[in-house]
Amino acid sequence: MGGRTRRAALGALAVALVLLGAAPAQAQPGVGDQAQWRIRQDIVDHALREVGQREGNGNFYPEKYRDVEPGVLRPAEWCGVFVNWAWATAGVVDKPSMRPAPGASVLEQGHWATYWQKWGKTTGRWKDISERDVEPGDAVVYGNFPDFHAHVGLVVEVKYDRTGRKATHVRTVEGNFGDRVVYSKLRSIEGLNAGRYLKATGFVSPF
């Protein structure tokens, strides 16, 4: 079983166990970098536990998503806030800033969904959808920077082809989708979207 195949199996097991209320699966020796894989599993676990959470009136999402760092706004459109919260809570240190640098455009921060794409490209963590290179814990971006009509979510499960090298399907958890946190069915990489006219463009790795 290849490394990617083993990681996919662990990711699927983690999804099942979290939904059943059991302890998450732990990475086994030899499966990539253990510290990074543990963080990836924590991202998945945290995201899955939030499924069904809803916002109040006017984008007043659950307050704890704001409390992980200064600069997170509430109320706000919060798909990027949710991804930031899951990464931060799992221990990801280097991630998009939730406020623009002095003098920078208001678009240059993690509340703006497609900024995750720009940040990923700048830091070498962007993986174009055509590469089919994705792992649990990655952010999935729908749209291109600086699109206004856009979205960002979290990958919680990946299915690979027989080689274990190319992803064929993903399952996601996404905040601010219909004003709540939602859990998707397993969806094909080809045509992956967050609505008919909002196609996924790629993935951002937390490392």
Interval 114-149: pLDDT, tens: 999 999 999 999 999 999 999 999 999 999 999 999
Q: Domains in the chain: how many in total?
A: 1
Give the angle subtended at the CA of 110 by the CAs of 106 and 114, to the nearest 5°: 85
Q: What is the mean pLDDT of the chain?
A: 89
Provide the residue range defining the domain that includes 55: 3-204
140: three-class secondary structure by DSSP:
strand
What is the pLDDT at residue 32? 54
Residue by residue, DSSP assigns 39-66 as HHHHHHHHHHHTTT-B-BTTTB--GGGT
Confidence bin at 8 (pLDDT 50/70/90): low
Question: Predicted confidence band at 71 (pLDDT cuts at 50, 70, 90)?
Answer: very high
Q: Give per-residue pLDDT as tens, 175-193.
A: 999 999 999 999 999 999 9
